[in-house]
Structure 1
Amino acid sequence: MSSYSIAVLPGDGIGPEITDAAEIVLKRLVASNQGLALDLTRYEAGASHYRATGVTLPPDVVTACVAADAVLLAAIGLPDVRNPNGTEVQPEMMVGLRRALDVQSAPRPVKLYPGVRSPLADVGAGIDMVIVRENLEGLFASFGGGAVVGDQVATDTIVITRAGTEKACRYAFELARRRNGRPRDGRRRVTCVDKANVFRCFAFFREVFFDVAKQYPDIEADALYVDAVSLYLVQEPDAYDVLVMENQFGDILSDLGAGLVGGLGMAPSAEIGDHHALFQPSHGSAPTIAGQNIANPIAMILSAAMMLDWLGERHDDPLALGASKQIEAAVAGVLARGDCRTRDLGGAASTTDFAEAVAAAL
């Protein structure tokens, strides 16, 4: 029996709707896989919770997330819900949860599925890459710090450590070993993305990257500057397999990648540590369409598939690994069929319609 406890955080805006959609798929998956059990327990946190209680991330929710086998988070944040200092409450929750779970590496798949149109006129052999963000350091290490002097000067500090960079780079190479290589020719490659020609911290990041690369002689390793990669991802997206980078660069380039494959509704993500992991779509809470049942749930559903893949790897569980593949295959099949697409993909299907179509495909 494969039994896992999942802490589910629906969050804000469209979060509860896409959470319902993911649960439709997961419950059908469990029903069709004898021996697989998922205990899905919901917890309240986020901007709506802050508005009601003054607390964004309750301590008992953090405790439950740490105790769970995995965390499935939908979307958090509302632009009109802010701290007294004027900042949104969303970063407070996300950074707090990341630090509590110690999730160092954040893979964000960028994959163009059959039946989904890319804005690029030519995608070559296809788009199938993963952007890996170092998740706790970089510019985000300044969260809660930084300095403002009067109304004239503001500073934040970027932090790069050998330990944090090694973990993210090692995760990227291990991931490359599991993949089929870049679409162009099947070569397994990890690309370091930095600004090593200007900043000492990025030169250090690149140095650590190539130190780690020596431990993976079966995987090609190269390095490119972030501004160049922003161009190359548009010009030759089939040339990339796994890319690893500092936190802020990963935050930006993963949105660019999502734009190449149909938008943020197609962008799942994970945050992986030595002992814990969190899974969530890369998009925000989209409050302007909340409650209308029109949001694209694919990123949430595929994030749940990533969760099962991680559980399968961590526990050497072929049932969970197989279940992950079943979800992705079902999503791909519905998209390729073309008769059930949400509005952002040019169709008229509701959030629930798409989830039920994937469940039926299982």
Structure 2
Amino acid sequence: MKDIYEIAVVHGDGIGPEVCAATIEVVKAALGPDSPLRFSEYPAGAEHFLKTGQSFPEPTFLACRAADAILHGAGGLPGVVHPDGTEAGLDFTLKLRFELDLYANIRPIRLFEGVESPLRGVKAGDIDYIILRENSEGLYAARGSGARLRGEVAVDTLVQTRTGIERIVRKAFELARQSDGAPRDGVRRVTCCDKANVLRSYAFFRSVFDEVAKDYPDIATEYALVDAMAMHLVLKPGHFNVIVSENMFGDILSDLAAATVGGMGMAPSAEIGDANGFFQAAHGSAPDIAGKGIANPYGTILSAASMLDWLGHKHGDAKLNQAAGRIRSVTEACLAGGLLSADLKGSASTRQITHSVCDRLAAAA
């Protein structure tokens, strides 16, 4: 347990500052006047790149590395790119992942009461699983090092290591052990999502998965090819408990999965390593609605609840875990009560959602 937890806050671009500010209010309300969290703000992102030519200043990186946790709003703006065509606003997220070895990207997919799924006949409780995305290797490890020859050929290399696969797969089994199992049958299972029938790198992923699985005889295992998985997440989402995959596959599938539970505004994420933790919603910066006061803050709020849980477990601080539980409970009640943003087919503003969540947290305290 610590007296003070330093939280590095990077608001970022578009709606990032709005959802980040809302989330900080909620966290403060959950912890009360004796909150042990100290929030310090730092610049990074596409807007900062346009102003200064730097998308991720070194002082911001050093502050993030030294902090107890990192909270981010959103990054990136259309057309703000480096000479090679890659987005400048993504430098913040990607550098943190690789430099701080944030190898586990945990993306909970849950349908809340009050939120309508586009899937027919699916109701709250029918979808509740985790996509665990390997976050430090895979195809994205090639960013900045791929080859582009004479405007005719471009090559990026997919990299997977035994160490990287072992630790993400072991994390998947541990998450399954901590869960209540899949909604449809209550079975604790880990699904290995790959393309092992075509590429050696994914066949290697599967073989290491099989080796690790032997240490978890209490957890059911299965495989799903990524193209089939895209279908399964629509047709039988209640079957899944924990899905583990390579970096790019996890990125794509988690966005598809988010669409089944209300959209990207309902997509929290936690990116953790052995020493550092980075927390943000999985959505983008949505510059088309920035400044209009209608951004959905729930994804970032739920990401902050994961931040409190991670800090609480890491430092043996039950107060933080209890605050995380209150945030989730109040968020669930607000959604069930119809406090929905425009993307959820509601009319509540960012401010209305924030005030309601904070008021309920104060009443609960």
TM-score by length of 2: 0.96
1:199-278 pair list within 5 angstroms: 199-278=199-278
In structure 2, what is the equivalent of residue 77 of structure 1? 76
Greater shift, 93-102 or 12-21, is seen at 93-102
In structure 2, what is the equivalent of residue 106 of structure 1? 105
For residue 326 of structure 1, what is the amino acid of its counterpart?
R
1:300-311 pair list within 5 angstroms: 300-311=300-311
- TM-superposed CA distance for 1:223, in Å, is 1.2
Greater shift, 296-305 or 97-106, is seen at 97-106
In structure 2, what is the equivalent of residue 156 of structure 1? 156
In structure 2, what is the equivalent of residue 136 of structure 1? 136
Aligned equivalents of 2:84, 2:144: Cα separation in 1: 12
For residue 86 of structure 2, what is the amino acid of its counterpart?
T
On the 8 A contact 1:62/1:100 being kept in 2, the answer is: no
Aligned equivalents of 1:103, 1:85: Cα separation in 2: 25
What SS class does the counterpart of residue 346 from structure 2 fall into?
Answer: coil
In structure 2, what is the equivalent of residue 115 of structure 1? 114
Greater shift, 8-17 or 318-327, is seen at 318-327
In structure 2, what is the equivalent of residue 9 of structure 1? 10
What SS class does the counterpart of residue 288 from structure 1 fall into?
Answer: coil
On the 8 A contact 1:265/1:299 being kept in 2, the answer is: yes
In structure 1, what is the equivalent of residue 24 of structure 2? 23
Map Cα deviations across residues 219-273 of structure 1 (whole Å, 9 max, x no partner): 1111111111111111111000000000000000000010000000000001110
Aligned equivalents of 1:49, 1:296: Cα separation in 2: 23
- TM-superposed CA distance for 1:92, in Å, is 2.4
What SS class does the counterpart of residue 148 from structure 1 fall into?
Answer: strand
Aligned equivalents of 2:72, 2:171: Cα separation in 1: 22
Aligned equivalents of 2:254, 2:341: Cα separation in 1: 22
Aligned equivalents of 2:216, 2:317: Cα separation in 1: 25
In structure 2, what is the equivalent of residue 185 of structure 1? 185
- TM-superposed CA distance for 1:21, in Å, is 0.7
Map Cα deviations across residues 39-73 of structure 1 (whole Å, 9 max, x no partner): 01111111111111111111111111111111011
1:40 aligns with 2:39: yes
Point out where structure 1 has 5 or more consecutive residues left out of the alignment.
Answer: none
1:163-174 pair list within 5 angstroms: 163-174=163-174
In structure 2, what is the equivalent of residue 312 of structure 1? 312
For residue 99 of structure 2, what is the amino acid of its counterpart?
A
For residue 7 of structure 2, what is the amino acid of its counterpart?
I
In structure 2, what is the equivalent of residue 327 of structure 1? 327
- TM-superposed CA distance for 1:346, in Å, is 1.4
On the 8 A contact 2:75/2:90 being kept in 1, the answer is: no
Map Cα deviations across residues 92-117 of structure 1 (whole Å, 9 max, x no partner): 22221212221001010100000000
Map Cα deviations across residues 141-179 of structure 1 (whole Å, 9 max, x no partner): 110011122122211110010111111111111111111
| RMSD of Structure 2 on Structure 1 (CA) | 1.3
Which of structure 1's runs of 4+ aligned residues deviate more than 3 A? none
In structure 2, what is the equivalent of residue 61 of structure 1? 60
Aligned equivalents of 2:251, 2:90: Cα separation in 1: 13
Aligned equivalents of 1:314, 1:222: Cα separation in 2: 31
Point out where structure 2 has 5 or more consecutive residues left out of the alignment.
Answer: none
On the 8 A contact 1:333/1:361 being kept in 2, the answer is: no
- TM-superposed CA distance for 1:87, in Å, is 2.6
On the 8 A contact 1:123/1:237 being kept in 2, the answer is: no
Greater shift, 308-317 or 202-211, is seen at 308-317
What SS class does the counterpart of residue 204 from structure 1 fall into?
Answer: helix
What SS class does the counterpart of residue 118 from structure 1 fall into?
Answer: coil
For residue 306 of structure 1, what is the amino acid of its counterpart?
S
Aligned equivalents of 1:329, 1:210: Cα separation in 2: 37
- TM-superposed CA distance for 1:306, in Å, is 0.6
